[in-house]
Amino acid sequence: MKKRWLAGFLCIPLFLMMVTGCARAQISSVVFGAAAADWPVKVANVILAKEPAGVAVLSGNIADILLKLRYETVLKARSEDCSQNELSSLPVYSLDQAKELKNLGVDLALTDQTPTQDQTKAFSDAGIILLSLSPANGRADLCRLYTEVGTAVKGERTGYEQGARMAEQVLMGIDSVARIIPDKNVLLTGIYVSDLGGSTVTGDMFQNSILESAGITNVAADFKGGKMDLTALKRENPQVIFCPIGLKEKLESADIFEDLSAVKEGRVYEIDPNYMKWQGETVIFAVTEIAGFAYPELKQTGSLSAL
């Protein structure tokens, strides 16, 4: 299976994770605190009294994290954007189908969207806890998201610790790619563009870490909110451009892009758009693929496949 090829490298002894800031700072409040059991627990200001009997994941990103946590067996339903192969057998529902989810035995729903008042009321009336968890916005915040998901599904001790462990594994995985990037003193400037209107990966997004770990100096790093002024983009003139599958041809023919170095030199690369949305083990594959495009010699020497 594609998502298991890095397993050997990622099975680092547990004590290495316990000495990192992410794990140490957060786990200490659970392991050494007053809590002696997993339940009840508070996640994102919501109290969960007991372990959920059935979970609906209504976010492709959270689904990816649940797979990394190995908690997919608790799932009874998914949303359409949860397109991971491992979840293909689950029925598809949305935030507008609280009653139907209840009939499936769901008592906890996880999303990264902000539900409407009507949706919130519908889930409450159905007796389902609706938990909205925002995506990670940086490396340090990845641990927050993983431990929130883990805690919601498996409790304050069991789920929290698993979340911290798996977040650390992901970070160590992308750092393993960063260590083999050649010519680190030579800047390779680039950008990820998701549309022709200036939607990009900016410095306040976790995806900026993906570009950095792949050896890319993100020309949009000083911008925020996922938008970069197109005039500034032209001025920065990135050497490589990454975009979702299906956008390359339109991008290369657009006035604002056609004169950029990346376009003229044929260094525009399409990648799976979920690589810039999902924050489970997909993150490692994103870094690996981007690094392979940016530094072809890594593929030629087999450095990436050796990780």
d(CA 64, CA 191): 24
d(CA 89, CA 174): 30
Which residue segment(s) compose the domain that 193 sits in?
A: 183-301
Residue 272 has pLDDT above 50, yes or no: yes
Are 131 and 24 within one domain? yes
Residue 4 has pLDDT above 80, yes or no: no
Are 144 and 282 within one domain? no
β 268-271/75-78 pair status: unpaired
Q: Tens digits of per-residue pLDDT, 170-202?
A: 999 999 999 999 987 889 999 999 999 999 999
The burial class, CB within 10 Å (0-12 / 13-18 / 19+), for 196 is middle
**How would you label 118-131 residue by residue, b for 16+ Cβ within 10 Å and e otherwise?**
ebeebbeebebbbb
* pLDDT tier for residue 306 given thresholds of 50, 70 and 90: low
On whether the pTM is more than 0.85, the answer is: yes
Other Cβ atoms closer than 10 A to 212 = 18
Are 103 and 205 within one domain? no
> The domain spanning residue 109 has which CATH number?
3.40.50.1980
Question: Quick one: CA torsion of 226, 134, 23, 158, rounded to 10 degrees?
Answer: -150
Are 188 and 139 within one domain? no
Q: Which residues on adjacent β-strands are paired with residue 301? A: none
Three-class SS state of 272: coil
Identify the pLDDT of residue 303: 78
d(CA 173, CA 170): 5
Nearest of 1, 69, 13 to residue 280 by alpha carbon:
69
Mean pLDDT, the chain, rounded, equals 90
Per-residue DSSP letter, 138: S
Identify the pLDDT of residue 36: 53
Domain count, the chain: 2
Backbone angles phi, psi at 284, to 5 degrees: -65, -40
Q: Write down which residue in 149, 174, 199 finishes a domain.
A: 174
Q: Which two tokens stand for residue 183?
A: 């010519």
d(CA 164, CA 159): 9
d(CA 259, CA 59): 37
Identify the pLDDT of residue 183: 81
Instruction: Calculate the alpha carbon distances from 284 to 4, 7, 22, 167, 200 in Å.
Output: 11, 11, 18, 11, 20
145-159 mean pLDDT: 98
* pLDDT tier for residue 27 given thresholds of 50, 70 and 90: very low
Identify the pLDDT of residue 31: 40
* pLDDT tier for residue 34 given thresholds of 50, 70 and 90: very low
